[in-house]
Chains A and B, each alone.
Chain A
Amino acid sequence: MSKRHQYVDLLASLPALPATPFEREPLPISAIRLAHRLEILSDAHRDSLQALEILLDWRHLGMDVSTEVHVRRYRLTAPQLVEHGVGDLVETLLERHTLMTALRRRRLGHPAPLPGEAWGFGPRLAHIGTHWQASLFGVGPVFPWLAEAREHLEHDRPRELERQLFEESWRWLGRAQRHDRFDFREVVIYWLRWRLVAAWQRYNAEAAERRLRADIERGLGNDGIPFSGDGS
């Protein structure tokens, strides 16, 4: 069977994702079930997916991992990802992280990165460094979402910023889909989109829990939280 239809059974077994990542419905497939379904991937593709997770998931980007180490990780795995047809996906997502990093660094008053400094990803690193003081680093026409993201960042609207970045990623992944191929790239696109839905639901759940706890604390005053196990 050609690589084109390599994962037709896997993709047909995955439920459709919602129209946007911001829907209120529960996740169409749980993380455990998704991981179980993805066991059908070949060893090489499973390695690539794991490498993708390490590159993109914030859990693997602790404070002890320097930018140089992260860039080196990317350079080590990039050839394998390109070979499996997902190099452009990860590069675009990492370049988006880089642009957000640049906006945040500049807002904190950091100077432009030195030439040759490993501070991000993508083919426009030098260009961004050169145009550090330009409002959109001279790449505004290439990344139309950047102007709105800068507005949100400068007006301290983190939720709106996150929502915009999610929306942009969701739209871009939708455009990258090729519904007739059923190959590894389509599996990765599904996985990335599922992560967006799951992440947004997690944010909502965490925010709801925070609000609930704050309301309880406000309502009970100094009497403490019931059933907290501290005997109060």
Chain B
Amino acid sequence: MEQLIIALGWAGLYGPMALGAIGSIIGCAIAGQAAIGALLETETGHGRFIGLSAMPSSQSIYGIVVMFSLQRPVTEATSAGLFSVGLLAGVALLLSAVYQGSCCASAINSAKSKPEIFGLSIAPAAIVEGFGVFAFIFALVISGDIPMQ
């Protein structure tokens, strides 16, 4: 039982990083494919499509920062907190990256034929990013309450 608790603690410690990265992989792949498709139909503005497709990569960075903020000896006393905060923050980051990728793909798909809406079309992706930032910030705040030993 003790070993299981310790394992869960480690999972919680590495969880935000791994889940954030998985989300970024999926999100960037979705948006990246849309950007590549849009390159075939547009003469200009290629850079901003590729730039937009990289937007879901921020969740990986948030995951890394949360992981470092959670970093402490994994013991029976700390495992429960590490697991809960790490896993939930990771899931939130994963979902926000995937759905942000979807929003970016839709934005690219719309803006390719109507470039003047490019700025506005990013708004939904930015809102999704906002929720990812909430999960990130409050994971940092709450991690301060997990015992250090």
Expressed in whole angstroms, the Cα–Cα distance for A11 and B108 within the complex equals 11
Expressed in whole angstroms, the Cα–Cα distance for A22 and B41 within the complex equals 23
CB of B67, distance to nearest CB on chain A (Å):
27
Question: Assuming A5-B102, A8-B105, A180-B106, is B114 touching A16 (CB within 8 A)?
Answer: yes
Expressed in whole angstroms, the Cα–Cα distance for A9 and B109 within the complex equals 9
Q: In the complex, which residues of chain B have a beta carbon less than 8 angstroms from the beta carbon of A180? A: 102, 106
Expressed in whole angstroms, the Cα–Cα distance for A9 and B106 within the complex equals 11
Quick check: A8 and B33 within 8 Å, CB to CB?
Answer: yes
Quick check: B29 and A9 within 8 Å, CB to CB?
Answer: no
Question: Assuming A1-B29, A15-B113, A16-B114, is B37 touching A9 (CB within 8 A)?
Answer: yes
Interface centre among A1, A8, A16, A182 (most CB of B within 10 A): A8
Quick check: A16 and B37 within 8 Å, CB to CB?
Answer: no
Give the contacts of B84-107 with A (CB-CB under 8 A): 102, 105-106
Quick check: A13 and B114 within 8 Å, CB to CB?
Answer: no
Quick check: B105 and A5 within 8 Å, CB to CB?
Answer: yes
Quick check: A12 and B109 within 8 Å, CB to CB?
Answer: yes
Q: In the complex, which residues of chain B have a beta carbon less than 8 angstroms from the beta carbon of A93? A: none
Expressed in whole angstroms, the Cα–Cα distance for A1 and B37 within the complex equals 16
Q: Does A10 contact B (CB under 8 A)?
A: yes
Q: Does A41 contact B (CB under 8 A)?
A: no
Quick check: A13 and B41 within 8 Å, CB to CB?
Answer: yes
Question: Assuming A1-B29, A180-B106, is B37 touching A8 (CB within 8 A)?
Answer: yes
Quick check: B33 and A9 within 8 Å, CB to CB?
Answer: yes
Expressed in whole angstroms, the Cα–Cα distance for A15 and B37 within the complex equals 10
Quick check: B108 and A12 within 8 Å, CB to CB?
Answer: yes
Question: Assuming A8-B105, A179-B106, is B30 touching A13 (CB within 8 A)?
Answer: no
Question: Assuming A8-B105, A179-B106, A180-B102, is B33 touching A15 (CB within 8 A)?
Answer: no
Q: In the complex, which residues of chain A have a beta carbon less than 8 angstroms from the beta carbon of B30? A: 1, 5, 8, 182
Q: Does B50 contact A (CB under 8 A)?
A: no
Expressed in whole angstroms, the Cα–Cα distance for A32 and B105 within the complex equals 26
Expressed in whole angstroms, the Cα–Cα distance for A180 and B102 within the complex equals 7
Expressed in whole angstroms, the Cα–Cα distance for A221 and B12 within the complex equals 90
Quick check: B106 and A13 within 8 Å, CB to CB?
Answer: no
**29 intermolecular pairs with C-beta atoms under 8 Å apart:** A1-B26, A1-B29, A1-B30, A5-B102, A5-B105, A8-B33, A9-B33, A9-B34, A9-B36, A9-B37, A10-B37, A11-B34, A11-B37, A12-B35, A12-B36, A12-B112, A13-B39, A13-B40, A13-B41, A15-B112, A15-B113, A16-B112, A37-B40, A179-B106, A179-B109, A180-B106, A182-B30, A182-B105, A182-B109
Residues of A within 8 A of B (CB): 1, 5, 8-16, 37, 179-180, 182
User: Which 6 A-B residue pairings sit nearest by Cβ, starting from the closest?
Assistant: A12-B37, A13-B37, A16-B113, A9-B37, A9-B33, A12-B34
